[in-house]
Amino acid sequence: MGIDLTWPSAAGERLLAEVHEVLHAVVAAGGAIGWLEPPGRAETDAWVESVLEQTRAGDAALVVAEVDGVVRGTACWVRSPGQVFEHTAELGRVTAHPSARGLGLGSLLVSAVVGNARAAGIEQLKLGVRGNNHGAIELYERLGFREWGRLPYAIAVGDARYDEVRMAMPLGFPEDVVLHGSAAGGQGSSPRRKA
């Protein structure tokens, strides 16, 4: 069984059809990737085209995992909007077709996105994951992501509410960057406030 990762910049019919099959099957199996119901072809095509448009502008990258020549997994990064956030990006739509689970596609795809985002100059990669998706959270932690917060009950699936777990991974900062963040004292410090 051969697994190949490819980085498309344009989408032909085969790519669109195979990505649709993956996204549709993942949602049908209960995957939490942004759709409540398995998406139609128009929805998945629009998502692929949007990411690829951003890719051509240097603001995203889509990677697909092909198993024996057929797309069976996806992942992407998309640059955060706004000048003060453009050094960060969001990891998204990490998927593996149910027929390809257990092949390690998630780890391969996320690792590839991390490397690609780093090479593109992204300093921090962030993501959101449903709080009950323990397998995904463990995968992200194993690859170096750390939780930085939770928004309780932020994800609605019918009458059920789930926490959104926010995670991030620093990819490296230029040598001339001054990091203020949570450092105590001084201009730019952001210590926790007491109630």
Query: Cα 9 vs. chain centroid, distance in angstroms?
Result: 17
- On whether residue 56 sits in a domain, the answer given is yes
pLDDT 10s digits, 154-192 = 999 889 999 999 999 999 999 999 887 766 666 666 666
Q: What is the pLDDT of residues 5-57, one digit of tens each?
A: 999 999 999 999 999 999 999 999 999 899 999 999 999 999 999 999 999 99
Count other C-beta atoms under 10 Å from residue 6's C-beta.
11
Q: Structural domain of residue 59, as residue ranges?
A: 3-122
What distance in Å separates the CA atoms of residue 142 and residue 129, rounded to the nearest whole number? 15
Q: What is the mean pLDDT of the chain?
A: 93
Contact 15, 71 (CB under 8 A): yes
> Is there a domain that residue 82 lies in?
yes
pTM for this prediction? 0.92
How many structural domains is the chain composed of? 1
Work out the average pLDDT over 46-71: 97
Q: pLDDT category, 133, cuts 50, 70, 90?
A: very high
- CB distance 125 to 76 below 8 Å: no
Q: What was the pLDDT predicted at 194?
A: 72
CATH of the domain at 102: 3.40.630.30
